[in-house]
Amino acid sequence: MATPSRSLPRAARGRSRRERLATWGLTLAGLLAVAITLTIIALFVHGSLPFLRTVPLGEFLGGTRWAPIHEPAGYGILPLIGATLVTTGIALGVAVPLGLLAAVFLSAYAPSPVRRVLKPALELLAGVPTVVYGFFALRFVTPLLQGFIPSLGFWNGLSAGLVMGVMIIPYMASLSEDVLYAVPRSLWEGAYALGATRFEAVTRVVIPAALSGIGAAFILALTRAVGETMIVALAAGRTPTWPPDPRQPLLTLTTAIVNIATGDHEATAFIWSAVFAIGLLLFLTTLVLNTVSYLVIQRFREKYA
């Protein structure tokens, strides 16, 4: 509607050049990130081609026997996926409720001095090397659990999953606490002013308001669990079993890679290409989960703006 002004653009030129430069720079940075991701995918696809050309996709994704270095060889990935699901499920079963409770306590119940001490302490816990957790699972948790479950193997998915859950609690708690704490004071007051108790305010207003953020924390915890290697390598053993039993040794996707990469057998190019195929599967899983988490966070941002 307005007629363009003729005197204004000249004065703004310096700024607009800087603006254009920033736009280009940032676009380039964004494209670089995408390019790196695509390159990784391409390398993995390329690396796994020999494997994928030889082994029918149906056998790879549907087979229940994983024995790449035996005769006859089996290339079914289901035992690995099953093992990953078992340990991930147990880990999330521990980390999600406990992490969420810790987050609710810290954000809504803890007096602020307590919060100021506990929050960094919790984040410190996330820095403990996973090899320590793995050793802890193997030498402490498993013997302890064997007292209750005599059939529990020296290596087993159960204690690996439990300890992995403990390892993930700080992530779940810290991320959820951030979103819970970010729920505006005014929503709390709105709930209180209607005669809500603190528990009602938390469970019916604050947690629902933060739910998509908590969902994002959940997905990040899930990615951590799927990708965790050291704990399962140490405590869950390296035996592919089908169907997976948490009391018995298991071989997860991640340990399968470790197994081949650190084995003292003669690794052929073909077996290496199997590693690439597993890696590709892991990478795609993580990518999908991260994308979902990103989208969920986006939705969360729009929630109470």
Q: Is 190 in the site for another protein (CB under 8 A)?
A: yes
Tokens of 262: 């650190």
Binding window for another protein (CB under 8 A); candidates: 118-126, 198-206, 254-262, 265-273: 198-206
Least separation, in Å, of the C-beta of 219 and another protein?
A: 20
According to the binding rule CB under 8 A, does residue 197 interact with another protein? yes
Question: Of 5 and 186, which CB lies nearer to another protein in the complex structure?
Answer: 186
Q: Which helix (H) or strand (E) holds 66?
A: strand 66-67
The distance of closest approach from Cβ of residue 296 to another protein in the complex, given in angstroms and rounded to an integer, is 15
For another protein, the closer CB: 214 or 233:
214
Single out the segment in contact with another protein by CB under 8 A; choices: 54-62, 144-152, 179-187, 254-262.
Answer: 179-187
Q: How far apart are CA 193 and CA 191, in angstroms?
A: 5
The two tokens of residue 145 are 């659990």
Sign of the C-alpha dihedral computed for residues 230, 234, 239 and 245 taken in this order:
negative
Among residues 69, 280, 108, 301, which one has the least CA distance to residue 202? Answer: 108
Fill in the per-residue mask, 108 to 137: x = in contact with another protein (CB under 8 A), - = not in contact.
---xx-------------------------
Least distance between another protein and beta carbon 184 (Å): 7
If one asks whether residue 192 binds another protein (CB under 8 A), the answer comes out as yes
| In the complex, least distance from residue 119 CB atom to another protein, rounded to whole angstroms | 18
Largest CA distance in the chain: 87
CA dist 160 and 86 (Å) reads 10
Place of tokens 């470790």: 258
**Rounded distance, CA 123 to CA 127, Å?**
7
Angle of the 269-303 helix axis to the 207-227 helix axis, nearest 10: 170
Binding-site size, another protein (CB under 8 A): 23
DSSP state of 137: I
Q: Exposed, middle or buried, 247 (CB in 10 Å: 0-12/13-18/19+)?
A: middle
Out of 78, 83, 158, 205, the only residue in the binding site for another protein (CB under 8 A) is 205
Q: Which residue of 186, 243, 264, 266 would you call a contact of another protein, by CB under 8 A?
A: 186
Nearer to another protein, 98 or 118 (CB): 118
Contact residues for another protein (CB under 8 A)?
111-112, 184, 186-197, 200, 204-205, 208-209, 303-305
